[in-house]
Structure 1
Amino acid sequence: MTPNHARRRTEGFSLLELLVAMMIIAVIATLGFSQYRKHSAQANYIKAQDDLKIVGEGLDQYYLKHNAYPDFGSYDAMVDGNSPLVKENLIKVGMSATDPFKQPYEGRSSRNTYELKCAGDPSNPDDAGPIIRTPNGFTANTAPKGEPAGDAGAKK
């Protein structure tokens, strides 16, 4: 009876061993998911900066050609297919009027200036606050806390 009992014992895992293995997997998955969310938030913030940069550079190029910025009352009008920025190929067709955080971009321009704005991450306003672009450049956080945006991997 003893040899048979020993053989059955080596054929599978005990309930305790399975629970320990499942706990280890759960801890690793939790850590991985939190890192995924952090990097996803950074990517969304950088995408919003890039979108505002593209439209801002289009407005700057328009200014160089016409000696004035076009009059727009909203960001939607700037990226619309009938916009002079799109018609003159200063920005790409199909630019989204919604930021990566599912909020509308804000923007306006007049003959002498413009302002483009992304409200930032509504779920994390301390680390990913508003981004504002004017003819003078950006005034905003650079990226959510973590690795700096653009300097990831740069040697100092």
Structure 2
Amino acid sequence: MKTNIRQYAVKGFTLIELLIVVIIIAIMAAIAIPQFGNSTAEATDAALDANLNTVRSAIELYRVQHNNILPGVREATGAGNACTAAGGVAGTGLANTALAFSDQMTMHSNRAGQTCTVFIPGYDNGPYLRAIPRDPVTPAADANGNAVAVTNGVLAPIAAGGGAAGWRYSLVTGRFEMNSVALDRNQRAFNTH
């Protein structure tokens, strides 16, 4: 018996084939990378819109549950001994202040707007938010990203180059918006969202 042993030649890639693959990968990367740059701006805009919708819904729910009074208009103080006896902390925000707005959005409240960090009888409304959200545009190093500038009037237009980090809120209209005229990816001011 005779055996035929065939040896197969081991083939590899030629330099031309490797260059073609590298060129194809480079073309695909050149197309894909700019798309990732846009996704960051889209994510920022989406986060801003989500935060605004959440806070605006919370403001409206508070208004409905508190006899058409907007958060921040009344003082958040007054829960006193009942709150501390239950292991909570009473709100300290005075009427027409950012602290009253924050207390009334993030704590349990009664119909008069008085707040407590824990549920006690009569304080069965809220909390409407776990915390005031941080605006997604301000750099994380800026401690004012979740600050709320409260005004007891209609929100005036922000001058070009004006505004600050965080939010602004009208105690008269209930309008809650970003405190910035910087532009989003569609060249629209952030405070007009």
TM-score of the aligned structures, taking structure 1 as reference length: 0.57
Contact 2:178 2:190 in 1 (8 A): yes
2:158 counterpart residue number? none
Higher-helix-fraction structure: 1
How many residues end up aligned between the 2 structures? Answer: 119
Q: Per the alignment, in what secondary structure is the counterpart of residue 105 of structure 1?
A: strand
- Distance 1:58-1:13 versus aligned 2 partners, 3 A rule: same
Q: Which has the larger radius of gyration?
A: 2
Cα RMSD for the two superposed structures: 3.2
Contact 1:105 1:117 in 2 (8 A): yes
Cα deviations across residues 91-133 of structure 1 (Å, max 9, x unaligned)?
Answer: 331443231563643213324433311648x6x645153233x
- Distance 1:23-1:118 versus aligned 2 partners, 3 A rule: farther
Confirm whether residue 62 of structure 1 aligns to residue 55 of structure 2.
no
User: What percent of counterpart residues are identical?
Assistant: 16
CA–CA distance in structure 2, aligned partners of residues 17 and 85 of structure 1: 64
Confirm whether residue 106 of structure 1 aligns to residue 167 of structure 2.
yes
CA–CA distance in structure 2, aligned partners of residues 44 and 57 of structure 1: 20
Tell me the amino acid that sits aligned with residue 84 of structure 1.
Q
2:177 counterpart residue number? 116
1:20-31 correspondence to structure 2 within 5 Å: 20-31=20-31
Confirm whether residue 129 of structure 1 aligns to residue 129 of structure 2.
no
1:84 counterpart residue number? 104
Unaligned regions of 5+ residues in structure 1, if any? 1-6, 133-138, 141-156
Q: Which protein has greater RCO, CA pairs closer than 8 Å, 6+ apart?
A: 1
Contact 1:48 1:99 in 2 (8 A): yes
Confirm whether residue 33 of structure 1 aligns to residue 94 of structure 2.
no
CA–CA distance in structure 2, aligned partners of residues 90 and 109 of structure 1: 20
TM-score of the aligned structures, taking structure 2 as reference length: 0.48
CA–CA distance in structure 2, aligned partners of residues 98 and 130 of structure 1: 14
